[in-house]
Amino acid sequence: MSVHAASRHRVLIIGGGYGGLYAAKALDKAPVQVTLLDRRNFHLFSPLLYQVATGALAPSEIAQPLRLVLRKQRNARVLLGEAVDVDAAARTVSVADGTTIEYDTLIVATGTHHAYFGHDDWADHAGGLKTLEDALEMRARILASFERAESEPDEARRRSWMTFVIVGAGPTGVELAGALCEIARDALPRDFRAIDTTKAQVHLVEAADRVLPTYPPGLSRAAARQLRSLGTTVRTGTRVVGVDEHGVLVATEAEGEPVRIDAMTVLWAAGVTVARFGRALAEATDASTDRAGRIEVAADLTLPGHPEIFVVGDLAAAVWHDDRMVPGVAQGGIQGGKHAAATIKARLAGEPLPTFSFRDFGELATIGRLRAVADFRRVRFTGVVAWFLWVSIHIALLIGFQNRMLVMNRWIWSFLTRGRSNRLITHAGARPPPPDRD
């Protein structure tokens, strides 16, 4: 307790994703002073980023200003700024603008961003999907490819503009592949005169031996079948060994020599690494990290030796039970954030501390219109039922009533018309032609 009787316990939360935001909300009415610090002024519903990238939704529909979410919570304030370092002994966090914030308890939920397995030069040719800007850039690349194909007289190059390679067949890669096939098949054909967009090719490349490798094998098979029925070329057991402006080089166990896929558009849905502040935190506290840089936490989600520092969301490498890790999905963040808040409240009240146990609701991925797979552990679904479950759960997880209404309207509209109305090429647009173009 502080020497100032009046001063409240200060909780600093870094990151306004699911982990940070649910921690802040769960501290409502607690006798603490909450500061939520984020580089961005909004909460982002990242599971739907691929829908922004493929023109189904607008950016504002999957994001909500943090101030708006917390406006009625009087013990919480929002600060815009980038945390750069932590002094665990002094209990302060330094911010990029030069200021310093003191804390009594720190909750770190800064998440991960995509990584290129050490090949950072691939980033120029293969955009990832972690931010709204990424999504708009990816949307611009996809749409600009069709535009380039429309005005391309050379047959081989036109085919190359209409070939898309998606690297990584986790939920994001699978959902991207399905959406891309649907755009080419349903939304775009009547818009173009010179090209037949239904001839577009989508390759989904995955190093593991099946799509959705973290899902049960039966659902992987169902997802692969649904993807193929939409026209995706599923290439499992295939590693990407090179990316340049003309396509990718892939290698399989079976074949000796790497094979080239000529594709002007490569989308990256593989590999994550922790952001700058996560690395600074690990260094400052001598915390152990896993291969991707995720910070290993104790069973109560605190750092060993630092009960005042919680790490939640996908920045944390948290063991759940039987050596299974808490998955890096919205539910992992939500439950971790709520647990940190409950622990803080129990400590201040002198009550018994809660134990963290991840409640696994299962996994879901949508592949397209009326196509999805769902694994609720006790029960599994594929097809239409899974698709309706996917839609309902994602509407429920959105933050903000208006966003729920808007997204539902968009989805109903898209379902009825098979159209994609969010097709603006902004902020990025047509890449310069490759150097050898004559």
Write out the residues near its own copies by the rule CB under 8 A: 40-42, 58-61, 63-65, 67-68, 71-72, 77-81, 97, 99, 132-133, 143-144, 147-148, 150-151, 188, 190-194, 400, 402-403, 406, 409, 413, 419, 421-427, 429-430, 433
Taking the complex as a whole, the smallest distance from the CB of residue 374 to its own copies amounts, in Å, to: 30
- Contact yes or no for 202/177 (Cβ under 8 A): yes
- Contact yes or no for 382/327 (Cβ under 8 A): no
The Cα–Cα gap between 171 and 251 comes to 22
Closest CA to 366 of 340, 384, 343: 384
Closest CA to 64 of 406, 372, 408, 382: 406
Burial class (CB in 10 A: 0-12, 13-18, 19+), 171: buried
Closer by beta carbon to its own copies, 26 or else 188: 188
The Cα–Cα gap between 424 and 53 comes to 11
Closest CA to 205 of 188, 185, 227, 189: 227
Closer by beta carbon to its own copies, 51 or else 238: 51
Catalytic residue among 175, 182, 206, 363: 175
The Cα–Cα gap between 277 and 275 comes to 6
Closest CA to 16 of 46, 49, 47, 41: 41
What sign for the dihedral angle of Cα 73, 75, 76, 79?
positive
For residue 405, count other CB atoms closer than 10 A to its CB: 13
Strands 247-252 and 259-262: antiparallel
Closest CA to 40 of 110, 114, 123, 100: 110
Closer by beta carbon to its own copies, 195 or else 263: 195
Closer by beta carbon to its own copies, 194 or else 259: 194
Taking the complex as a whole, the smallest distance from the CB of residue 403 to its own copies amounts, in Å, to: 8
Q: Is 175 a catalytic residue?
A: yes
Instruction: Quote the distance between the C-alpha of residue 242 and its chain's center.
Output: 24
Q: Which residues pair with 337 in a beta bridge?
A: none
The Cα–Cα gap between 217 and 17 comes to 30
Taking the complex as a whole, the smallest distance from the CB of residue 24 to its own copies amounts, in Å, to: 13
Closer by beta carbon to its own copies, 95 or else 372: 95
Taking the complex as a whole, the smallest distance from the CB of residue 54 to its own copies amounts, in Å, to: 13
Closer by beta carbon to its own copies, 148 or else 235: 148
The Cα–Cα gap between 391 and 415 comes to 12
What sign for the dihedral angle of Cα 60, 178, 117, 295?
positive
Closer by beta carbon to its own copies, 194 or else 385: 194
Closer by beta carbon to its own copies, 4 or else 190: 190
Please give the DSSP secondary-structure letter assigned to residue 306.
E
Taking the complex as a whole, the smallest distance from the CB of residue 317 to its own copies amounts, in Å, to: 30
Half-sphere exposure of 295 (CA within 13 A, CB side): 33
Taking the complex as a whole, the smallest distance from the CB of residue 192 to its own copies amounts, in Å, to: 7
Taking the complex as a whole, the smallest distance from the CB of residue 117 to its own copies amounts, in Å, to: 28
Taking the complex as a whole, the smallest distance from the CB of residue 79 to its own copies amounts, in Å, to: 6
The Cα–Cα gap between 82 and 259 comes to 42
Any idea which residues carry the catalytic annotation?
Answer: 175
